[in-house]
Amino acid sequence: MSATTRSASAAAARRGELAAFLRLRRERITPQDVGLPGGPRRRTPGLRREEVAERAGVGVAWYTWLEQGRAINPSVQVLDAIAGALLLGPAEREHLRRLADVPGAAGSAESPAAEIPVPPGAKALHTILDSLNPLPAGLVGARYDVLAFNDAYAALDPRMVLLPPPERNVLWRLFTAERESQPLVDWEREVSFMVGHLRAEFGRRLQDPQWQAYIRRLSAASPLFAEMWARHDVLAPATHRKAFRTVDGREVTITATGFTPAEAPGTKLWIYTPDGPDAERVLGELLARYRRLGAAGLVAAGAPGRPGG
């Protein structure tokens, strides 16, 4: 395949992503959201194309071509007007600019090299992770590959640690593992957050074959992931609270805070801080049991009162 053909294919794929994103964002807005009358005879879910065009101050035909994936080049000002018409949030606005390939859009250039994390065996990284105990902490890639972690992280989710390193992927496990082994209490809320973040990261790497293969494999393995992926929801990573179900049957609530290492912009160092003294006590007890029993022993022991507990 020639460079010209590859470039044309990449542009067509990007325009297809843009068209789907615009259509789905338009369909999720009700007329009432923007002060328009609903009416009983509306057959279009959400807003009509002409309503979006009018709100954005652009031509209906032009907006229709954009939503059909035609080769047109909107300006930053026009994209911002469309973003306002569609009530897009900051992460969605950035994603829109990236898909439209406007000059200067953050992360618009695809750079596989940015995927390379800090080497998991690097002494400095492990020193940082170890110093954070008893706070669970792990280095996670943009595709949610778990690249490195400390003992407290392993104690909170020992089943992840038992997987071979190439298979330690948070989303793959959450969408394919048996329900009883799932570590998240509010599963749907958390995976929606992660899929939205994954979609934003994918927008930076539309032509990366490894990313394309990952999305295909996970979509084939999980119809639910495929359904959520097709929504084109976009979210930015943010500090948030979430609850884990531990291997011994307890629930522990933490606050997850992500930091981007300067040496590896495609990764996040996630640190979990306990949400109160009870959570702090549970994390401390889990860490002590993990160091005594190991990951396999912790899983085998299970909850108190179970066989082996």
**Predicted local confidence at residue 1, as pLDDT:** 55
**Predicted local confidence at residue 104, as pLDDT:** 58
The tens-digit pLDDT sequence of the chain (309 residues) is 565 665 677 778 888 888 899 899 999 888 888 787 766 666 777 888 888 889 888 888 888 888 888 888 888 888 888 999 899 888 898 898 888 887 655 554 444 434 445 555 466 788 899 999 999 999 999 999 999 999 999 999 999 989 988 899 999 999 998 888 889 999 999 999 999 999 999 998 888 889 999 999 999 999 999 999 999 999 988 899 999 999 999 999 999 999 988 777 788 999 999 999 999 999 999 999 999 999 999 999 875 544 343
Main-chain phi, psi angles of 179, to 5 degrees: -60, -40
Residue 70, token pair as written in the block: 């035609």
SS (H, E, C) the chain: CCHHHHHHHHHHHHHHHHHHHHHHHHHCCCHHHHCCCCCCCCCCCCCCHHHHHHHHCCCHHHHHHHHCCCCCCCCHHHHHHHHHHCCCCHHHHHHHHHHHCCCCCCCCCCCHHHHCCCCCCCHHHHHHHHHHCCCCEEEEECCCEEEEECHHHHHHCHHHHHCCHHHCEHHHHHHHCCHHHCCECCHHHHHHHHHHHHHHHHCCCCCCHHHHHHHHHHHHHCHHHHHHHCCCCCCCCCCEEEEEECCCCCEEEEEEEEECCCCCCCEEEEEEEECCHHHHHHHHHHHHHHHHHHHHHHHHHCCCCCCCC
Residue 91, token pair as written in the block: 């992460």
This model's pTM is above 0.75: yes
How far is Cα 225 from Cα 235, in angstroms, rounded to an integer? 16
Q: For residue 48, which of 80, 65, 15, 23 has the smallest C-alpha distance?
A: 23
**Predicted local confidence at residue 3, as pLDDT:** 59
**Predicted local confidence at residue 113, as pLDDT:** 38
**Predicted local confidence at residue 134, as pLDDT:** 96
**Predicted local confidence at residue 4, as pLDDT:** 63
Query: Which amino acid appears at position 154 of this protein?
Result: A
Burial degree of 136 (CB within 10 A; 0-12, 13-18, 19+): buried
